[in-house]
Amino acid sequence: MNLLEVRNICKTYGSGETAVNALKNVSFSVAKGEFVAIVGESGSGKTTLLNMLGALDTPTSGKVLIDGKDTFSMKERELTVFRRRNIGFIFQSFNLIPELTVEQNMVFPVLLDYQKPNGRHMEELLEALKLKERRRHLPSQLSGGQQQRVAIGRALMTRPSLILADEPTGNLDSQNSSEVIAMLKEASKKYEQTIIMITHNRGIAQTADRVLQVSDGVLADLGRCGE
C-alpha cells in the first residue's frame, strides 16, 4: 500500500525568459513504512521537492497525495492541521526552541495541536534516543548529535505517517551520523512510518530501502539498495 503518491509535479519560478523550471513532471510513489533517500547536486531541485511533499510550497501543477488525500486541494486551515498531525519534519539545523528543555521541545508539536502528550510514548522515545538523562537540559547544553536526536524525537512524538528529513546528518560527525540514520531506520520499522530523506552523502543514501536522484529538476529512480 502506497502512503505517498506524487503525480506530475512541476514547479516554475519566474516567467518568460527568466523562468526557472525547478521540477519537471516528477512522479513516484512510496510504500507505507518505506525508507527512501533522495540525492542530487546543490540546486538540482531536491529541497524544492521535499517542500512540495511537506506542503510547505505549492507546485505550479501536479498533485501530492498522502494516505489518499490531495494536500493541495485542502484549504489553508485544514492543510495546517493535516500537516501537523501527519507529517514530521527533521531539519539539518535542528530548529529547536532554545528556551525549552529536551522534553518540552519534543512535546511542543503535540501541545500546539491542543492534544495531551502520551507519557508512555515520550518515555519510550527518550529511552530509544538515549536522552533520558538529558530530558531537562536546554539545547545549548547538548552536543550536535544530541540536539539532532531531540529533533527526531519531536518529529516522532505526534506519530506521523510521513517523516521528511532534510540533510539530517549534515552537521554531524560520522559516528553521530550513523547513529541518527540507525534511529530513523528503527523508527521506520517499529512505527511503520514512511521516511523520505534528502542527503548529499551517497554512503548514507545506500542505507535506505530505495534511492531517488534529482538532476536539473528531473527525477530518476535508482532502485532498491543492494540489488
Candidates 3.30.70.141, 3.40.50.300, 3.50.50.60, 3.30.70.260; CATH matching 2-224: 3.40.50.300
Separation of alpha carbons 124 and 140, rounded Å: 24
Number of C-beta neighbours around residue 103 at 10 A: 20
Widest Cα–Cα separation across the chain: 57
**pLDDT tens column, 57-68:** 999 999 999 999
pTM, two decimal places: 0.88
Residue from 191, 154, 160 nearest 85 by CA: 160
Separation of alpha carbons 8 and 62, rounded Å: 5
**pLDDT tens column, 6-37:** 999 999 998 888 889 999 999 999 999 999 99
**pLDDT tens column, 162-174:** 999 998 887 778 8
